[in-house]
């Protein structure tokens, strides 16, 4: 039994090394550009087939990285959601939508790679579906999206979808750009993830509440 436990711990440590190496390489170079062999090497695995053995395909590996972070992001989201109650102020719901990722990144400490990893995954034609699947499986996220919807002024469904897509782009790419600036030590607005999240909440609330042009030539 003791031998089995040691073995299980070794496997767990190897998987963690692979996940960390892969997240970093994918973040810096793009998912498509990095081979499983390169990930195995960067994780210090003598066996170049280590990724395949522990995770399967590259898609499985990307999914494992997403899930590693998803549990903690979901915890933050559930906590914010519990605090918002039945608010009818759209800002409270936007807080729940926007703050979990920056708060998670702040908790990881510097440097992080997850924000750039997400930007790479979201820019990949095939892998972006993985991220959508994981998001759809979050019950708290569904409640938050519904909460935002209830607080919005009347607008065509098409515009609501369009603005929801824009919010998603901003959450992903603002965080990735800030993470890159921190990694490269170049200037970036705000001194904390918390401040950056506030800036994003302000902007997203303004965007959601913006008047909608109607009439000819706008479809």
- List interacting residues with a copy of itself (CB under 8 A): 28-30, 32-33, 119-120, 123-125, 158-159, 161-163, 165-166, 169-170, 173-174, 176-177, 180, 184, 189-192, 194-196, 198-213, 217-219
Q: Name which of 64 and 212 has its Cβ closer to a copy of itself.
A: 212
Distance between CA atoms of 120 and 109, rounded to whole angstroms?
21
Q: Taking the complex as a whole, how short is the minimal distance between the CB of residue 35 and a copy of itself, in angstroms?
A: 10
Q: Taking the complex as a whole, how short is the minimal distance between the CB of residue 122 and a copy of itself, in angstroms?
A: 8
Q: Name which of 48 and 198 has its Cβ closer to a copy of itself.
A: 198
Q: Name which of 9 and 89 has its Cβ closer to a copy of itself.
A: 89
Q: Taking the complex as a whole, how short is the minimal distance between the CB of residue 176 and a copy of itself, in angstroms?
A: 8
Q: Taking the complex as a whole, how short is the minimal distance between the CB of residue 187 and a copy of itself, in angstroms?
A: 9
Q: Name which of 32 and 84 has its Cβ closer to a copy of itself.
A: 32
Q: Taking the complex as a whole, how short is the minimal distance between the CB of residue 81 and a copy of itself, in angstroms?
A: 21
Q: Which long-range contacts (CB under 8 A, 24 or more apart) does 99-102 make?
A: 99/197, 99/201, 100/73, 100/74, 100/76, 101/73, 101/171, 101/175, 102/175, 102/193, 102/194, 102/196, 102/197, 102/200
Q: Name which of 60 and 162 has its Cβ closer to a copy of itself.
A: 162
Distance between CA atoms of 219 and 217, rounded to whole angstroms?
6
């Amino acid at each position: 039994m003791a031998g089995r436990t040691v073995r299980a711990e070794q496997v767990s440590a190897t998987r963690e090394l692979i996940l960390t190496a892969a997240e970093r390489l994918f973040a810096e170079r793009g998912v498509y550009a990095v081979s499983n062999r390169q990930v195995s090497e960067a994780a210090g695995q003598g066996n170049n087939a280590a990724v395949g053995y522990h995770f399967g395909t590259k898609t499985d590996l990307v999914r494992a990285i997403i899930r590693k972070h998803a549990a903690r992001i979901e915890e933050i989201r559930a906590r914010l959601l519990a605090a918002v109650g039945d608010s009818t102020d759209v800002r409270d719901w936007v807080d729940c939508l926007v703050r979990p990722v920056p708060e998670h990144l702040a908790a990881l400490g510097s440097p992080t790679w997850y924000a750039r990893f997400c930007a790479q995954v979201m820019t990949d034609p095939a892998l972006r579906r993985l991220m959508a699947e994981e998001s759809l499986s979050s019950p708290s996220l569904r409640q938050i999206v519904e909460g935002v919807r209830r607080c919005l002024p009347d607008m065509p469904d098409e515009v609501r979808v369009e603005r929801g897509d824009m919010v998603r782009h901003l959450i992903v790419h603002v965080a990735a750009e800030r993470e890159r600036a921190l990694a490269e030590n170049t200037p970036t607005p705000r001194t904390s993830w918390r401040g950056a999240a506030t800036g994003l909440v302000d902007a997203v609330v303004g965007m959601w509440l913006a008047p909608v042009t109607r009439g000819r030539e706008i479809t």
